[in-house]
């Protein structure tokens, strides 16, 4: 419900191919910002200068003019829009094994908020069309299973919503519920981002990777000392992403688990953009790029241009 940009659409169904029993087909369609923002144009120069959209509790400083971000590049229902679509196939274990990118015109069936999608999945047939939603949740279960097998860093840091009153002052700060519908979209976006990075690597083309290095030894030593102070034993030699997740899973008390999640986050390297690929430590991926948000991140627009 809090999404500010409507630049992506998702679809999934069971794969009917005899070569992929138990698998899924999926499409992630992203607004074709590159169709409107041409390299070197005034729009492009201003977007590059801004770099990203900036979101405040009560306003947005957009990277692109609202005529693009809220209209021409907004995937509104029942309106034709230019898009770049990532067509993917996943096996029964949730592993991405085939993908391709196409440029075309799409028409969204519906604009749904996360809460309504979750309600439909839980049985409220009036909240959203279940026939469209259930294959997405079934695919998400496979993707979540593959993520657990891969071993990633899973922090427990609830996002907060800042509520601003009419006088411009903060009225309240409350935790935002994290629903399965949120995680569903997140996993599909990650899969499309992986497909983008792998496509450019396979074509031997340059790519602006989103890279996340391993934590350095000093930060791990500091983390171990903090944990000892809290009475939590932890090996200083732990260095795999899943080791940090297992650490958090051992902590039963929610407030302490959130506190340790913050310590783990501070022990990590900062993710950056780079043309040199070193992989993504937190996601435990060999290649990763940002493709799914060209309305609000210039990095994604660069990747779109490289793909097309």
pLDDT tens per residue, range 171-216? 999 988 889 999 999 999 999 999 999 999 999 999 999 999 999 9
pLDDT value for 138: 97
Is 127 a residue whose pLDDT tops 80?
Answer: no
Out of 74-78, 92-96, 207-211, pick the least confident.
Answer: 74-78
**SS3 at position 200:** helix
Give the model confidence (pLDDT) of 3-39 as tens digits: 556 889 999 999 999 999 999 999 999 999 999 999 9
Out of 115-119, 140-144, 179-183, 262-266, pick the least confident.
Answer: 115-119
- State how far the Cα of 10 lies from the Cα of 114, in Å rounded to an integer: 13
Tokens of 43: 């729009």
Closest listed residue to residue 142, CA positions, set 95, 189, 183, 98: 95
- State how far the Cα of 308 lies from the Cα of 39, in Å rounded to an integer: 13
Is 290 a residue whose pLDDT tops 90?
Answer: yes
Out of 121-130, 215-224, 259-268, 281-290, pick the least confident.
Answer: 121-130
pLDDT value for 123: 86
pLDDT value for 4: 59
**DSSP state for residue 236 in the 8-state scheme:** T
- State how far the Cα of 85 lies from the Cα of 304, in Å rounded to an integer: 11
Pairing assessment for the beta strands 59-61 and 54-56 based on DSSP bridges? antiparallel
Give the model confidence (pLDDT) of 105-114 as tens digits: 999 888 888 9
At residue 281, φ and ψ (nearest 5 deg) are -65, -50
Per-residue HEC secondary structure of 111-123 comes to CCCHHHHHHHHCC
Average pLDDT of the residues of the chain: 94
pLDDT value for 35: 97
pLDDT value for 1: 42
Is 136 a residue whose pLDDT tops 50?
Answer: yes
* H/E segment holding residue 161: strand 160-164
**pTM to 2 decimal places:** 0.93
Arithmetic mean of pLDDT, 119-144: 88
CA distances from 165 to 60, 73, 100 (A): 17, 31, 47
Out of 46-60, 224-238, 290-304, pick the least confident.
Answer: 224-238
pLDDT value for 7: 84
């Amino acid at each position: 419900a809090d999404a500010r940009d409507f630049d992506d659409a998702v679809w999934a169904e069971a794969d009917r191919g005899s070569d992929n029993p138990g698998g899924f087909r999926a499409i992630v369609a992203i607004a074709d910002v590159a169709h409107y923002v041409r390299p070197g144009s005034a729009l492009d120069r201003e977007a590059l200068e801004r770099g990203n959209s900036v979101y405040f509790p009560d306003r947005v400083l957009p990277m692109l003019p609202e005529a693009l971000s809220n209209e021409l590049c907004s995937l509104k229902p029942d309106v034709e829009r230019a898009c770049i679509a990532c067509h993917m196939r996943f096996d029964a274990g949730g592993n991405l094994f085939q993908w391709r990118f196409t440029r075309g015109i799409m028409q969204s069936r519906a604009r749904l908020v996360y809460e309504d999608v979750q309600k439909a999945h839980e049985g409220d047939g009036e909240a959203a069309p279940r026939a469209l939603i259930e294959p997405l949740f079934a695919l998400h279960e496979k993707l979540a299973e593959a993520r657990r097998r891969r071993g990633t860093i899973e922090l427990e840091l609830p996002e907060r919503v800042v509520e601003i009153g009419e006088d411009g002052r903060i009225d309240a700060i409350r935790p935002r519920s994290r629903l399965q519908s949120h995680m569903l979209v997140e996993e599909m976006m990650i899969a499309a981002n992986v497909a983008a990075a792998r496509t450019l690597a396979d074509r031997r083309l340059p790519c602006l990777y989103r890279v996340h290095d391993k934590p350095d030894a000093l930060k791990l030593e500091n983390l171990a000392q903090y944990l000892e102070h809290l009475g939590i034993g932890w090996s200083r030699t732990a260095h795999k992403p899943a080791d940090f997740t297992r650490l958090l899973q051992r902590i039963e008390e929610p407030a302490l688990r959130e506190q340790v999640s913050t310590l783990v986050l501070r022990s990590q390297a900062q993710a950056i953009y780079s043309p040199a690929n070193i992989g993504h430590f937190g996601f435990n991926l060999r290649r990763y790029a940002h493709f799914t948000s060209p309305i609000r991140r210039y990095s994604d627009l660069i990747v779109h241009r490289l793909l097309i």
